[in-house]
């Protein structure tokens, strides 16, 4: 059952626990949305330029992975990491060719593996870490709180796309 309360969900500092609660709520709603989809539905293309639900799910995992690297390791992803996640990060043509023929359990597992690492690391951090300020290469400031807000903001955005694709699937049946 999905919990509709924002609260510290475990052994986290207060604000980090609230952030973890928001991340977990966002994920629970996403998983509820896709849990019963078939491989065919996960691979459905609305048109030649669209993304599949499967590729959007892997994109969600890739965004979280990148934000782990940026915020936990204080660096950008390296070549090996880029090679692993490139199709999912960039979506588009390459993703259409390479991200397919997977079950919903595959995508749920990928999302879960990344999330497990996120929650484990967040337990080690405190509220001050959330507000640590850094700068992008172009001089624009940001903090870790923003980075993790962006992770669930991006997931919510793509969940909207997933819902639209599901409506189109129903129309096409």
Residue 80: which CATH number?
1.20.120.450
- pTM score over 0.85: yes
Identify the domain containing residue 87 by its residue range. Answer: 14-172
Q: pLDDT per residue over 46-76, tens digit each?
A: 999 999 999 999 999 999 999 999 999 999 9
> Does residue 131 lie in a domain region?
yes
> Does residue 3 lie in a domain region?
no
> Does residue 54 lie in a domain region?
yes
> Does residue 72 lie in a domain region?
yes
Exposed/middle/buried for residue 106 (C-beta within 10 Å: 0-12, 13-18, 19+): middle
What is the domain count for the chain? 1
> Does residue 4 lie in a domain region?
no
Res 1 pLDDT > 90: no
Which token pair is 118? 């996120």
> Does residue 56 lie in a domain region?
yes
């Amino acid at each position: 059952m999905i919990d509709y309360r924002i609260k510290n969900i475990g052994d986290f500092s207060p604000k980090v626990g609230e952030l973890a609660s928001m991340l977990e709520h966002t994920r629970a709603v996403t998983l509820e949305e896709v849990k019963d989809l078939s491989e065919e539905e996960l691979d459905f293309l609305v048109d030649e330029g669209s993304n599949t639900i499967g590729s959007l799910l892997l994109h969600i995992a890739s965004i979280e992975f990148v934000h782990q690297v940026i915020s936990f390791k204080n660096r950008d992803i390296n070549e090996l990491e880029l090679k692993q996640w490139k199709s999912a990060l960039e979506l588009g043509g390459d993703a259409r060719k390479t991200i397919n023929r997977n079950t919903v359990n595959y995508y749920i597992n990928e999302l879960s593996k990344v999330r497990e690492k996120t929650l484990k690391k967040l337990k080690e951090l405190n509220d001050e870490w959330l507000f640590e300020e850094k700068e992008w290469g172009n001089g624009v400031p940001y903090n870790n709180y923003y980075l993790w807000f962006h992770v669930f903001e991006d997931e919510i955005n793509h969940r909207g796309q997933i819902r639209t694709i599901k409506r189109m699937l129903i129309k096409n049946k």
